[in-house]
Chains A and B, each alone.
Chain A
């Protein structure tokens, strides 16, 4: 499929952007959504920035602190304003970034910006509020604790990484979460270090005019200090031998199998990463021969998924399976590894490639129906690369991926010494794999 004319633009709405004097990238995406606008702020800091020992999970914890008020808008007043607007506001943190989002009536955009910009510049809280929020974060860890996937991911990251901060999940190590109430002063330093205009992106999507968005952004965000400190994550050395770990689970869950390979960071123009996206869909989607074998025919697994998430630094290509019988974990693993070896040797058929591209494109479009979805998507790409042009560039790269690229990527990534395998099974079936 190489050498074809470039496909039509993938993103269905205009993207208009400007950079304020303080370095804040401001993006407006006008779309047909009568009376509604989504206001998203991406801070390009996540758990990958947590380099100090004992302070894992801090980016996520800090996201909570961002709701603890400013002199102008103490927490009650902040919430009162949101409540009066009838706005839907929340936040989330990932490995790479932290997102603060509000969806509200578009004619309230000025109020929303006033409210949001204020906390990015003037956040202020005392020790009591800090410690109560630390307790709520422990509560969040606790609510997740009964879900085996969380433990599996925790173990996988800890096992596969040695130097890079992807070693811990975004929630952080439990011992660090339990120590959070003692880290008030670090929280102040964290804010000063990362919450800077030139480390953030503002995206407003919906029933808005770009020039109005830019004028409001200048007024409300113009005084936000720039000056984010230079930062680079520790480099993860190449893995030299296969690693594995097993978790024994106290409740009778189905066994879980995770097979992970170190994979390249997101690169909008990088063929290898996009080839892995194609491979993930072609080899592991519900239409794949492997899914047919494991889930539909032999019924050894009831669920199978794979893919490489977009990450700023090299992360994982991850294959996950939930196995119906602990005695079959080894068989399922073999079938997965056989599939990965095969794709390096037998190129995907052109028709299959075309179907995969179609699926990825329509899947992307079907996730862009509301201002909320649109702003989240633009933020996702912009936080990865610092620019929105990466959306179209990424899809253009995808269109260029050929069967040879898929084979080459799999030969390079799916090497046994690059692999980490983690299993989880009920305590009584602990040695099943």
Chain B
């Protein structure tokens, strides 16, 4: 068990974060979705002494909750409470971890919810999330990363209480646990929590090696069909580096320049949205990114042992989809061939030096970032950047881009309306020109550039294009 502590008297709140190195990667074959159900049942399955309803009743006046978030490689159990309620709250979250009830009634409900999250959620009502999961299915075909954390419909159907109990006792163990505490911690509190956690099994099942995903040359395209007035696009390729590697940090800077999440800084945002009005936003990532609520920042504690490079093109008009893919690939090729100018490098470095400090404004987020640092064997990302950015050079960044980004090995996922999907694929594979017209005035230099974008070569092989109905995914 590792421990990360951030005591502070500046806040009347205490934050708990219990990070287990266990996630949907650990789902047994045929039981896809087990980690997610186990996490959900910890959160909503009651404790030996309290049913879930009684647990809710106890938490209600504190306005506190016990949250569980399951990702591919980690599960985080967390909560924040006012010090007025610390003793009572701690007793509850402790019992959730140490003596879960795993109530069969709640299990049936949560298993149903989990199935619905795929059948009537992911497949039906969030095209952008569907695009991202479809991309993951291409990047990690045959690997546990290649399916949603919720699992598959058949896997979920096979889950039993015994599966959950076995998973919990073999994965939520001391050797897989990082304990994080922040805020107004009373004297002796940390020792008490650490002592209590010794009731967890000491060692669990040894964790399988991750197995770095292959990266075939060329383009793989998956078109997922469902009714859609605009088409969501995600593309990318696996990476061989994470925050554990020195090369990650120059690549992180390069990505900020190319597609910083929900800012107007990035090349993609400028080219697709600002200059052309093709959609609402365009960003890129060099690791798994989950937006924290309505903020622009990344949710901590979704760490992974393998990461990927990805581009997120928010829904575009169907007539613009081919063009938007071309424009993104063209800009990516330029990033690799030209790299950042010295000026762009310095601007981006200055930006990240300050911007990264905003990622840890609350004690809970500061703690989450510090715990991710422990996951990757280093400091928090904010501290790593503070240490590394001053000495970083433009050459470091450009060399890292060339070493790790390959614009000729991309997987492309498109969520498209059934009407038009086949024709779209035919045009993609034929490398047909994709000129666009605008309903609005456009700058002459942009129109000039459009002529080249419309014929930007994409060597897409029809045999590597697949069209599937959303209703058949993750079955």
- Let me know if A251 and B64 touch, CB within 8 A: no
Query: Is B192 interfacial (CB 8 A cutoff)?
Result: no
Once the chains are docked, how many angstroms separate the CA of A302 from the CA of B109? 8
- Let me know if A127 and B441 touch, CB within 8 A: yes
Selected from A33, A128, A302, A362, the residue in CB contact (under 8 A) with B63 is A362
- Let me know if B62 and A146 touch, CB within 8 A: no
Question: Per-residue 0/1 for B409-452: is the Cβ within 8 Å of any A Cβ (1 yes, 0 no)?
Answer: 00000000000000000000000000000111111000000000
- Let me know if A133 and B119 touch, CB within 8 A: no
- Let me know if A88 and B358 touch, CB within 8 A: yes
Query: A143-177: which residues lie under 8 A (CB-CB) from chain B?
Result: 143, 145-148
Query: A231-289: which residues lie under 8 A (CB-CB) from chain B?
Result: 250-254, 285-287
Selected from A87, A135, A354, the residue in CB contact (under 8 A) with B439 is A135
Question: Per-residue 0/1 for A120-141: is the Cβ within 8 Å of any B Cβ (1 yes, 0 no)?
Answer: 0000000110011111100110
Query: Is A36 interfacial (CB 8 A cutoff)?
Result: yes
Of the listed stretches B22-30, B314-322, B373-381, chain A binds B314-322
A133/B57 contact (C-beta < 8 A), A103-B358, A139-B316 known: no
Selected from A36, A85, A131, A139, the residue in CB contact (under 8 A) with B279 is A139
A143/B354 contact (C-beta < 8 A), A252-B120, A369-B13 known: no
- Let me know if A251 and B63 touch, CB within 8 A: no
- Let me know if A105 and B357 touch, CB within 8 A: yes
Once the chains are docked, how many angstroms separate the CA of A370 from the CA of B10? 12
- Let me know if A128 and B354 touch, CB within 8 A: no
A94: B residues at CB distance < 8 A:
none
- Let me know if B82 and A362 touch, CB within 8 A: yes
Once the chains are docked, how many angstroms separate the CA of A83 from the CA of B126? 31
Query: A360-377: which residues lie under 8 A (CB-CB) from chain B?
Result: 360-363, 365-366, 369-372
Whose C-beta in chain B lies nearest to the C-beta of A90?
A: B296
Once the chains are docked, how many angstroms separate the CA of A181 from the CA of B442? 12
Selected from A131, A324, A365, the residue in CB contact (under 8 A) with B440 is A131
What is the total of A-B residue contacts with beta carbons within 8 Å?
197
- Let me know if B274 and A296 touch, CB within 8 A: no
Q: How far is the CB of A28 from chain B (nearest CB, A)?
A: 18
A143: B residues at CB distance < 8 A:
128, 230, 232, 279-280, 314-315
- Let me know if B230 and A87 touch, CB within 8 A: no
Once the chains are docked, how many angstroms separate the CA of A139 from the CA of B56? 40
- Let me know if B228 and A355 touch, CB within 8 A: no
B228: A residues at CB distance < 8 A:
145-146
- Let me know if B113 and A132 touch, CB within 8 A: no
Query: Is A299 interfacial (CB 8 A cutoff)?
Result: yes
- Let me know if A369 and B362 touch, CB within 8 A: yes
A136/B277 contact (C-beta < 8 A), A84-B351, A355-B61, A372-B361 known: yes
- Let me know if B350 and A86 touch, CB within 8 A: yes
- Let me know if A85 and B354 touch, CB within 8 A: yes
- Let me know if B60 and A285 touch, CB within 8 A: yes
Once the chains are docked, how many angstroms separate the CA of A365 from the CA of B116? 34
Once the chains are docked, how many angstroms separate the CA of A55 from the CA of B280? 20
Whose C-beta in chain A lies nearest to the C-beta of B358?
A: A88
Once the chains are docked, how many angstroms separate the CA of A361 from the CA of B297? 27
A359/B63 contact (C-beta < 8 A), A127-B441, A139-B314 known: yes
Query: Is B264 interfacial (CB 8 A cutoff)?
Result: yes
Query: Is B197 interfacial (CB 8 A cutoff)?
Result: no
Query: B242-265: which residues lie under 8 A (CB-CB) from chain A?
Result: 262-265
- Let me know if B275 and A132 touch, CB within 8 A: yes
A148: B residues at CB distance < 8 A:
125
- Let me know if A128 and B315 touch, CB within 8 A: no
A131/B441 contact (C-beta < 8 A), A139-B273, A142-B317 known: yes
Once the chains are docked, how many angstroms separate the CA of A148 from the CA of B120? 11
A252/B119 contact (C-beta < 8 A), A135-B440, A136-B280, A358-B61 known: yes
- Let me know if A359 and B357 touch, CB within 8 A: no
B226: A residues at CB distance < 8 A:
251
Selected from A142, A254, A285, A292, the residue in CB contact (under 8 A) with B120 is A254
Once the chains are docked, how many angstroms separate the CA of A83 from the CA of B353? 10
> Which of A12, A142, A360, A361 has the most chain B CB atoms inside 10 A of its CB?
A142
Query: Is B341 interfacial (CB 8 A cutoff)?
Result: no
Selected from A36, A84, A296, the residue in CB contact (under 8 A) with B361 is A36
Number of interface residues of B (CB under 8 A): 82
- Let me know if B61 and A254 touch, CB within 8 A: no
- Let me know if A252 and B351 touch, CB within 8 A: no
Whose C-beta in chain A lies nearest to the C-beta of B363?
A: A369
Query: B39-66: which residues lie under 8 A (CB-CB) from chain A?
Result: 52-53, 56-57, 60-64
B82: A residues at CB distance < 8 A:
362, 365-366
Q: How far is the CB of A428 from chain B (nearest CB, A)?
A: 13
Question: Per-residue 0/1 for B309-351: is the Cβ within 8 Å of any A Cβ (1 yes, 0 no)?
Answer: 0000011110000000000000000000000000000011011
Whose C-beta in chain A lies nearest to the C-beta of B84?
A: A362
Question: Per-residue 0/1 for B270-282: is the Cβ within 8 Å of any A Cβ (1 yes, 0 no)?
Answer: 0001111111110
A134: B residues at CB distance < 8 A:
277, 440
Query: Is B287 interfacial (CB 8 A cutoff)?
Result: no
- Let me know if B354 and A105 touch, CB within 8 A: yes
Selected from A35, A250, A299, A372, the residue in CB contact (under 8 A) with B357 is A35
Selected from B11, B265, B442, B470, the residue in CB contact (under 8 A) with A132 is B442
Query: Is A21 interfacial (CB 8 A cutoff)?
Result: no
Once the chains are docked, how many angstroms separate the CA of A83 from the CA of B347? 7
Once the chains are docked, how many angstroms separate the CA of A369 from the CA of B84? 16
- Let me know if A131 and B362 touch, CB within 8 A: no
- Let me know if A296 and B273 touch, CB within 8 A: no
A135/B125 contact (C-beta < 8 A), A79-B265, A88-B355 known: no
Question: Per-residue 0/1 for A286-303: is the Cβ within 8 Å of any B Cβ (1 yes, 0 no)?
Answer: 110000100110010010
Query: Is A75 interfacial (CB 8 A cutoff)?
Result: yes
Once the chains are docked, how many angstroms separate the CA of A362 from the CA of B62? 6
Query: Is A67 interfacial (CB 8 A cutoff)?
Result: yes
A32: B residues at CB distance < 8 A:
10-11
Once the chains are docked, how many angstroms separate the CA of A181 from the CA of B116? 40
- Let me know if A324 and B63 touch, CB within 8 A: no
Query: Is A80 interfacial (CB 8 A cutoff)?
Result: yes
- Let me know if A75 and B274 touch, CB within 8 A: yes
A86: B residues at CB distance < 8 A:
350-358
- Let me know if B441 and A287 touch, CB within 8 A: no
B273: A residues at CB distance < 8 A:
136, 139
Question: Per-residue 0/1 for B60-99: is the Cβ within 8 Å of any A Cβ (1 yes, 0 no)?
Answer: 1111100000000000000010101100000000000000
Once the chains are docked, how many angstroms separate the CA of A87 from the CA of B62? 34
Once the chains are docked, how many angstroms separate the CA of A371 from the CA of B116? 38
Q: How far is the CB of A65 from chain B (nearest CB, A)?
A: 13
A251: B residues at CB distance < 8 A:
123-125, 226-227, 470
Selected from B128, B297, B354, the residue in CB contact (under 8 A) with A87 is B354
- Let me know if B123 and A324 touch, CB within 8 A: no
Query: Is B240 interfacial (CB 8 A cutoff)?
Result: no
A80/B280 contact (C-beta < 8 A), A139-B316, A142-B229 known: no
A35: B residues at CB distance < 8 A:
357
Once the chains are docked, how many angstroms separate the CA of A146 from the CA of B123? 11
B169: A residues at CB distance < 8 A:
none
Whose C-beta in chain A lies nearest to the C-beta of B355?
A: A86
B109: A residues at CB distance < 8 A:
295-296, 299, 302
Once the chains are docked, how many angstroms separate the CA of A215 from the CA of B92? 49
- Let me know if A355 and B350 touch, CB within 8 A: no
Identify 15 residue pairs between A and B in the complex whose beta-carbon atoms are under 8 Å apart, listed by A's number.
A132-B441, A135-B278, A139-B230, A142-B316, A146-B125, A146-B228, A252-B471, A287-B60, A299-B108, A299-B112, A324-B112, A355-B61, A362-B63, A365-B63, A372-B295
Q: What are the 3 A-B residue pairs with the smallest beta carbon separation, nearest first?
A: A86-B354, A135-B277, A131-B440
Question: A86-B355, A143-B314 provided; 20 other pairs, C-beta below 8 A?
Answer: A86-B350, A86-B354, A88-B355, A127-B441, A128-B440, A132-B274, A132-B275, A139-B230, A139-B278, A143-B128, A143-B280, A147-B125, A181-B439, A181-B440, A251-B227, A251-B470, A286-B60, A358-B61, A369-B364, A371-B361
Interface residues of B (CB under 8 A from A): 10-13, 52-53, 56-57, 60-64, 80, 82, 84-85, 105-106, 108-109, 112-113, 116, 119-121, 123-128, 226-230, 232, 262-265, 273-281, 295-297, 314-317, 347-348, 350-358, 361-364, 438-443, 470-471
